[in-house]
Amino acid sequence: MRAFLAGARIQLRFLRSYPDSLIPFFTAPMFTVIFLMIFRHAGRPDLTAYATVAPVFIALWWLALFNAGWSIQIERWNGTIEMLVAAPSSFAAVILGRITTTTMIGVVSFAETWLVARLLFGATVRIHHLWAFVATIVITLATMAGTSVAMSSLFVLTRNAVTFSNAASYPFYILGGILVPVSVLPHWIRPVSSIVFLSWSADLLRAALRSTPMHDVGFRLGMVALLGVCGFALGAWAMRVILVRVRTSGELGTM
User: Over the stretch 53-104, which tens digit does the pLDDT of each residue have?
Assistant: 888 888 888 887 777 666 666 666 666 666 666 666 677 777 777 778 877 8
Predicted TM-score (pTM) of this structure: 0.80
For residue 91, CA distances in Å to 80, 98, 175, 186, 235 come to: 13, 11, 29, 39, 11
Q: What is the pLDDT of residue 135?
A: 92
* Per-residue model confidence as pLDDT tens digits over 150-190: 777 666 666 665 666 667 677 888 888 887 778 778 888 88
Q: What is the pLDDT of residue 161?
A: 58
Q: What is the mean pLDDT of residues 134-161?
A: 77
Q: What is the mean pLDDT of residues 117-121?
A: 85
Residue 122 has pLDDT above 90, yes or no: no
Residue 219 has pLDDT above 90, yes or no: yes
Q: Where are the domains of the chain?
A: 2-249
Distance between CA atoms of residues 8 and 60, nearest Å: 17
Distance between CA atoms of residues 93 and 228, nearest Å: 15
Distance between CA atoms of residues 99 and 87, nearest Å: 19
Q: What is the pLDDT of residue 131?
A: 92
Distance between CA atoms of residues 20 and 95, nearest Å: 19
